[in-house]
Structure 1
């Protein structure tokens, strides 16, 4: 039986890119949500888990460096982009299976390296998927394709995070590695293998070593990026804006998973809070785009980013009032039982946080498009997205470190202060005269949004 080539029709192309982006979201949700939750249950501390989660984002922060490899090393037989997607998916499955028997409590460093490599393959696959989209999607389909990609990424994150946690009470946690691997393979078999990528234009011959050609492309990327960043005031300030956390981050990173476990939420409950957070973020991301078009990009971004501070500060206040200050080991003798007030506040603040986080996430991406110079749009925009992922990475790292030294309330308060600094950049980020057009995948979260 031969499966259809989804690239041959418009509905097929929408479905193909939906499922391809879903395969990016599934392992990210699995590692940053499901695995992080189980690590806390097994007794790892917030600093260790924060460092683990931080490592997940690094491949996405530097995925621009894989672009030249995808461009220069390609197979016309497998498909220039399809070949990369196929190989990366198989390697993603392989790293999950290798990581499966590793005891992440006793061998955290080795386990982290394996999951880092897993995400490196996923980030490289993302580069190839976006390149495929550019090559096969007609301009009239790109807006719709962005929507399907966006939906696929969020659903994948929910499946890998909430979906896996729903299965844990029935299967236990170790078998879920096989569930995630099997889900990726289903997309490989039914979507990627049947694809018939159209042949691209003749490639310029590579003179000399391919490694030299790759190095030349990376050097050209850096040169173009530097030129773009100094091309206008908005573009230069955007560099700092991308590197700063956008509002409070703690209720969307490892601190949330740590606290959920400490407050006594079981895997099903953590799954539900992750699922509802994802749904709320996705819905309000669409609403945020409408608000920004109606009331202006920067003013809408300013108040939605600032609003993420409100639920974060309130949770800090309630935790202080309830004397839940420092992380509490799950096996501690005479361990305190969290009150219903504290648990209810945690639920409410996480969900409200995701309203505001969803509202601003898409607007922030659009603002980077505003300040991007059309001549070097791909290079500059990719660099902005990379810096955003780097900001998520170091935020997860410092928050885990701070919780163990200063406690939850002070860490949450510090997160709010740091998250507001970026607002000072907004008055200086006016749009360039000609805004870049959003290409396929441009507005898609390339890592789990905090």
Structure 2
């Protein structure tokens, strides 16, 4: 009888081929994959770009997209072979409901709702189910007039002011070559500065979506995707050219439902933050993800550089201030947050949530509760309250289930304002959506 251990069969190697649902685009993103045995025992977790070494046998494989949709497939892997499993959409799998509330940072929100420039995307939507009005729609691109005519790059790149009295006039600008395929309309804007795109519809309540443009040229941009929803109403989505940042943003949007999957992308989030010179918007997305699942002491100091190297980028200031606050440096955090007076509204709803939450707390802290030499002066406290009131006007109208800052209001600097008849007057630069989406 031999005392030699039984000889193990050579492992097989598994690759993944992903077929996205109709109308979805993966854009080369790495998707988290889970591999289980038929008994549902977990074999391993990996990313869709990995080649996985497995023991011979049968496996059930699933991958969850940032939207929450699941791709699945099965394969029997033989010893010493290479196999590819085709992951396809599950039939009749419903889309998950929107995650209510967004980032859970507004602990004292009701109190501050009562107290009541940048690139913005304005979306005027209309509930066709309840009113039965036709589905005519116009897409409009707007930029601050002073930015469009100025030759000063600092002025052109700066965000417009949060305060209504300082906000400039807005003028129409053209889109870059709209293209339509597979029931979707894709557009871009040529501006390298805060830009507002409006979707106008009759009797609509305007909804403004902040375009994630850092305010400086030479960085990855974004695409505007328009399609009809199940009720016939137009729906608008913003997709980043940086595929890794776009995927991470969508996992972040899913909230706690995808928290475990989000934490698996720590390396990718850290790399996005590291590559801030290439893409400050992607760096901000990585930083927001790290703030969700990492301790402050474990987050790189690169957040400070994101704030200081991009002086017109509002989210850089919010991220560095939140990092400081979690380290207990509240006086410095308050002073960094005050940079929003000049930088404007955060591009991402997580940033608006962080800013309002911190400013709300700081305005209520008594002087004797501040550490020595950190208490704000009377002037700083007054400015803090003014900034909080300005941000609260936007936050009161914001949909925190959307990853980019999205709020309703007829004009970019007037959140909550109802549209007048002049809003619906067509401009020669408008895109008539009915020509792309005939009824």
Please give the TM-score of this superposition, normalised by the length of structure 1: 0.22
Structure with more of its chain in strand, by fraction? 2
Q: Highest relative contact order (Cα 8 Å, sep 6+), 1 or 2? A: 1
Structure with more of its chain in helix, by fraction? 1
